[in-house]
């Protein structure tokens, strides 16, 4: 940790010199200079009226600031673009209506690019870096390709989906660019005082939410959990396409020789309109089977809290929450779930939340649109009725 003076902000008022208890600051060319004898007490930081004195981890000070935000797009194995990319663009547009937002894609083809959709969620342009070698994701190849473009175009913000690809690629790029990275964010906001991106993620086992900033380096980088932001669309917005042919790719040393799909008996949670979340309050594995029948009768998917996975009653692929999946269905029905922070981060973006719990003080009720206090088994017929009626309305 060092104390630095941002010379462009210092007006030479000498207040820091007067307040420094060990005379470790002097004035040179009307700018405060910190001497080697500084013991980092920080008094100068607190007294500086210009906010020109800062704590710094590095020798370098504030990086150039642009109004550019980049969003990494990911092509899934079936060729579709992962929806998290659209959600991230939508959020960045909401946060900064004047930002220039670029959707970045490394691909061998431009056929999956939907500029109408990208424009409507808030992208100004899609930047396609094209080469046959980009047909499949490769960490070394993608890092080597992207870094020079980041250095050239200096985005202020660069976000990635917190998917396997994003979690692998983002830290490599951050390392090359000597900048910070907040992994697995569940929210983003802007500090109204200085315009910095506040990156929020669960910390200490989810018992508190940490707000992290990257004041001195650019880009401000984060990976974002899928489905934590809604995809807001404005049909009047449009998006241009910029294609660059990437020359001389570094060919990967490793090669994918085989892919196998893991078959599941459970419907893909992220694609369900209605999800029934089962919690410990269900009591036993036999009762889970009862809920499974109910789910099928209303064409809903089934999700669960972590204790059910720990008990071996349901597989991890349907766990919702911090160490499971984040989902945003139209309706989420929480049955016997208390509403821990770790569970909430995975389902609180659902459009309509129904909670059933026998404890009227259960925290889940603070997040539910419809709260039903009572025993799960007694509530099931009532629930079926509510869901049928709501389906008819929508
Ligand atoms: C690092 C870490 C990561 C975690 N990740 C996750 C995660 O991804 N997802 C997750 O869910 N948890 C996660 N957890 C665990 C989390 O902290 C909670 O322990 C868990 O969410 C509690 O699950 P629950 O609500 O089903 O159980 P409980 O908290 O035990 O709640 C059961 C609820 O059921 C109600 N109930 C009981 N019987 C009935 C009945 N007959 N009818 C109606 N209601 C009834 C009770 O009133 C109670 O509110 C994580 C924890 C840690 C430390």
Does the residue 311 lie in any domain?
yes
How far does CA 241 lie from the centroid of its chain?
25
Helix spans in 225-352 (H): 285-297, 306-310, 341-347
163 shares a domain with 106: yes
For 341, other C-beta atoms within 10 Å of its C-beta total 16
Range in 185-189, 222-226, 252-256 with the lowest mean pLDDT: 252-256
Atom 38 of ligand 1, nearest CA residue: 281
Of ligand 1's listed atoms, the one at least distance from the Cα of 338 is: 49
Per-residue confidence band for 64, with pLDDT thresholds at 50, 70 and 90:
low
Looking at the structure, do residues 214 and 322 belong to the same domain, yes or no?
no
Q: Could you tell me if residue 259 is inside a domain?
A: no
Nearest CA to ligand 1 atom 18: 340
Domain containing 107 equals: 68-245
Q: How far is residue 349's CA from residue 344's CA, in Å, rounded to a whole number? A: 9
pLDDT bracket for residue 231 (50, 70, 90): very high
**What average pLDDT does this structure show over 256-268?**
83
209-225 tens-digit pLDDT: 999 999 888 999 999 99
Domains: count for the chain = 3
Backbone φ and ψ for 338, nearest 5 degrees, come out as -75, -35
Q: At what angle do helices 376-393 and 285-297 cross, to 10 degrees?
A: 20
**What CATH number should be reported for the domain holding residue 388?**
3.40.50.1220
Whether 320 has a pLDDT exceeding 70, the answer reads yes
Cβ proximity of 224 and 265 under 8 Å: no
- Name every residue whose Cβ is closer than 8 Å to that of residue 132 and which is 6 or more positions away in sequence: 108
For residues 225 and 204, give the distance between their C-alpha atoms in angstroms, rounded to a whole number. Answer: 17
| Mean of the per-residue pLDDT values of the chain | 91
The whole-number pLDDT of residue 62 equals 56
**pLDDT for the residue 204:** 82
Q: What are φ and ψ of residue 254, in 5° steps?
A: -90, 160
Q: For residues 221 and 97, state if they share a domain.
A: yes
Q: Give the domain CATH number at 26.
A: 3.30.70.20
- pLDDT at site 61: 45
State the average pLDDT over residues 341-361. Answer: 94
Q: Is residue 264 part of a domain?
A: no
Ligand 1 pocket residue status of 244, Cβ below 6 Å: no
pLDDT attached to residue 87: 96
In a domain, 258, yes or no: no
310 Cβ closer than 6 Å to some ligand 1 atom: no
134-156 per-position pLDDT tens digit: 988 999 999 999 999 999 999 99
CATH number at residue 74: 3.40.50.620
Contacts of 365 (CB under 8 A, 6+ apart): 339, 355, 357, 371
The response to whether residue 306 sits with its C-beta less than 6 Å from ligand 1 reads yes
The DSSP bridge partners found for residue 68 are 100
């Amino acid at each position: 940790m060092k104390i630095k003076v941002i010379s462009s902000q210092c007006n030479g008022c000498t207040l820091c010199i007067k307040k420094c208890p060990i005379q470790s600051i002097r004035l040179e060319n009307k700018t405060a200079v910190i001497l080697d004898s500084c013991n980092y007490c920080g008094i100068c930081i607190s007294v500086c009226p210009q906010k020109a004195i800062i704590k710094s981890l590095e020798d370098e000070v504030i990086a150039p600031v642009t109004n550019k935000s980049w969003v990494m797009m990911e092509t899934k194995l079936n060729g579709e673009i992962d929806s998290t990319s659209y959600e991230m663009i939508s959020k960045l547009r909401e946060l900064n209506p004047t930002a220039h937002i670029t959707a970045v894609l490394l691909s061998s083809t431009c056929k999956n690019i939907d500029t109408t959709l990208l424009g409507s969620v808030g992208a100004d342009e899609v930047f396609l870096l094209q080469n046959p070698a980009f047909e499949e994701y490769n960490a070394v190849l993608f890092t080597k390709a992207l870094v020079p473009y980041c250095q050239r175009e200096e985005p202020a913000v660069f976000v990635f989906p917190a998917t396997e690809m994003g979690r692998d690629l983002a830290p490599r790029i951050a390392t090359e660019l000597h900048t910070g990275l907040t992994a697995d964010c569940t929210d983003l906001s802007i500090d109204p005082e200085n315009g910095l991106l506040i990156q929020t993620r669960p910390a200490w086992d989810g018992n508190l939410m940490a707000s992290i900033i990257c004041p001195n380096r650019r880009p401000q980088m984060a990976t974002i959990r899928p489905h934590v932001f809604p995809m807001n669309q404005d049909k009047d917005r449009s998006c241009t396409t910029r294609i660059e042919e990437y020359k001389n790719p570094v060919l990967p040393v490793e090669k994918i020789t085989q892919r196998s799909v893991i078959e599941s008996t459970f419907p893909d949670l992220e694609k369900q309109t209605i999800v029934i979340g089962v919690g410990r309050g269900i009591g036993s594995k036999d009762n889970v089977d009862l809920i499974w029948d109910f789910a099928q009768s209303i064409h809903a998917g089934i999700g669960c809290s972590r204790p059910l996975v720990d008990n071996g009653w349901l597989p991890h692929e349907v766990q919702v929450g911090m160490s499971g999946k984040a989902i945003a269905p139209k309706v989420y029905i929480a049955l016997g779930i208390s509403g821990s922070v770790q569970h909430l981060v995975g389902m609180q973006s659902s459009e309509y939340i129904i909670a059933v719990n026998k404890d009227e003080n259960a925290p889940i009720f603070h997040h539910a649109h419809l709260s039903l206090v009572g025993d799960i088994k007694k509530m099931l017929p009532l629930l079926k009725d509510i869901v049928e009626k709501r389906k008819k309305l929508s």
